Amino acid sequence: MGIFDKIKEKLTNEFIDIIEWLDYTDDTIAHRFERYQNEIKNGAKLIVREGQAAVFINEGQLADVFTPGTYDLTTQNLPILTTLKGWKYGFNSPFKAEVYFVNTHLFTDEKWGTKNPITLSDERFGLVEIRAFGTYAFKVSEPGKFIVDIVGTDSNFTNFEINEHLKSLIATRFTDTVGEANLPIELYAANTSELSETCQEVMQPEFMSVGISLEKFYIENVSMPEELKKEIFEYSRIDKLDLDKLTKFKTAKAIEAAAANEGGTAGAGMGMGMGFVLAQQMGGMMSPQMGGQQQMQQQAVTPPPMPVQTQYFYAANGAQQGPVSFDQLKALFANRTINRDSLVWKQGMGSWTALKDVEELKSFLGGNTPPPLPQQ
């Protein structure tokens, strides 16, 4: 054997004869098999283990993809690469190609969350803000598409790199989904399972477009400001109680609080009013069986009847409610059972009218401007 034959044999033996990847990490998704000038011998052995796929790239173009198994690299099992290279009758060693190993096992317990609060519109509470977080699991389902669309020329691609992209995608689609769901605000936290399934269905096509399958998606918590929680709890209690009894109770509590106020005349006036109310209630509970003289004395000192208070009817939850007094209606407005746009009616009005357009009820809205003086 001549000296040039020995040199040729030595160089040939240096070309790749076994192509394999042993992954000792838990976070690598794609790894490029490195070799000087990417030269591979004819008949080299390719070993693809379970949970892997091998992707051959020729001059930037996707060629052949291998699933788990052991292969001898020849024109018979490199059909796409053979076409791209223009081999008709086999190929001469060596040939050049980039080989990427893709980790196809399931990546679990990946975290996601909304970086900023999501603003939603609720019919009862107006604009509200919520946050959400949870976990998801994914795997590479189409290794060739994943290498071309996501990895590119990155020699060692980790799940940290793809997770930033996936988290942004999840946050965007989650915001769209909860916005279109149009649920009462308190039901988002109570229906996380159903909402998780819906979000997974919505997000799956976009994951698949880059060769990734979204295997699991979980919403673990939906949070909201503490003030909003208190309002929701209060509303839920009101919804379960007799509104008329609750209004009377809150009105009595307001009178009691005003009477206990040390502010002087205001408290004294309210206290006197409360006294009159209690006196009337006590009088109503007394037995009508009284002696003739007592009846005559009572009639002699009985004042004229008090003016009849205006009674209002109001619309709530699509149904007519009432009648209630002015103070009761004011309490309903204060606890948000009704609002400025709620319809009200009293005797003498031609039709139902929004509360904000009824002159004597405008004081509920916080305005301090007195009505115009009567014409002389």
Domain count along the chain: 3
* Domain identity same for 67 and 14: yes
* DSSP state string for 284-335: HHS-S---HHHHHHHHHHPPPPPPPPP-EEEEETTEEEEEE-HHHHHHHHHT
Domain-located, residue 303: no
DSSP state of 282: H
Closest CA to 60 of 30, 94, 21, 96: 96
Q: Extract the tokens encoding 171.
A: 């946050």
* Domain identity same for 44 and 76: yes
Q: Are 233 and 313 in contact (CB under 8 A)?
A: no
DSSP-derived 3-state class of residue 115: coil
* Domain identity same for 73 and 9: yes
Q: Find the CATH number of the domain harbouring 325.
A: 3.30.1490.40
Domain region containing 121: 107-225
Q: Are 48 and 69 in contact (CB under 8 A)?
A: yes
DSSP-derived 3-state class of residue 269: helix
Tell which of 84, 103, 122 closes a domain: 103
Q: How many CB atoms lie within 10 A of CB 276?
A: 10
* Domain identity same for 126 and 210: yes
* Domain identity same for 214 and 111: yes
Domain-located, residue 242: no
The model carries a pTM of: 0.55
* Domain identity same for 37 and 56: yes
Q: Who contacts 184 (Cβ-Cβ below 8 Å, separation ≥6)? A: 122, 123, 124
Q: Are 39 and 95 in contact (CB under 8 A)?
A: yes
Pair type for strands 39-48 and 61-66: unpaired
Domain-located, residue 133: yes
Q: Who contacts 276 (Cβ-Cβ below 8 Å, separation ≥6)? A: none
Tell which of 49, 72, 103 closes a domain: 103
Domain-located, residue 123: yes
Domain-located, residue 264: no
Domain-located, residue 334: yes
* Domain identity same for 127 and 53: no
* Domain identity same for 98 and 115: no
* Domain identity same for 92 and 175: no
Domain-located, residue 10: yes
Q: Who contacts 189 (Cβ-Cβ below 8 Å, separation ≥6)? A: 221, 222, 223, 224
Tell which of 83, 103, 123 closes a domain: 103
DSSP-derived 3-state class of residue 124: coil
* Domain identity same for 143 and 76: no
* Domain identity same for 69 and 161: no
Instruction: Give the separation between CA 133 and CA 115, rounded to whole angstroms.
Output: 9
From first to last of the 376 residues of the chain, give the pLDDT tens digit: 555 455 444 544 455 688 999 887 778 999 999 876 667 888 889 999 999 999 999 888 899 999 999 998 887 778 888 887 777 656 666 778 889 999 999 999 899 998 888 888 877 777 888 889 999 999 999 999 999 988 888 888 888 888 888 988 898 888 888 878 777 777 777 778 888 998 999 999 999 999 999 999 999 888 887 787 777 666 666 555 555 666 776 777 777 777 776 554 444 444 444 444 444 544 444 445 445 545 555 555 666 666 667 899 999 888 898 899 998 988 888 888 899 889 999 988 889 999 889 988 888 887 545 556 666 5
* Domain identity same for 137 and 181: yes
Burial bucket for residue 95 (CB in 10 Å: 0-12, 13-18, 19+): buried
Domain-located, residue 273: no
Q: Find the CATH number of the domain harbouring 178.
A: 3.30.479.30
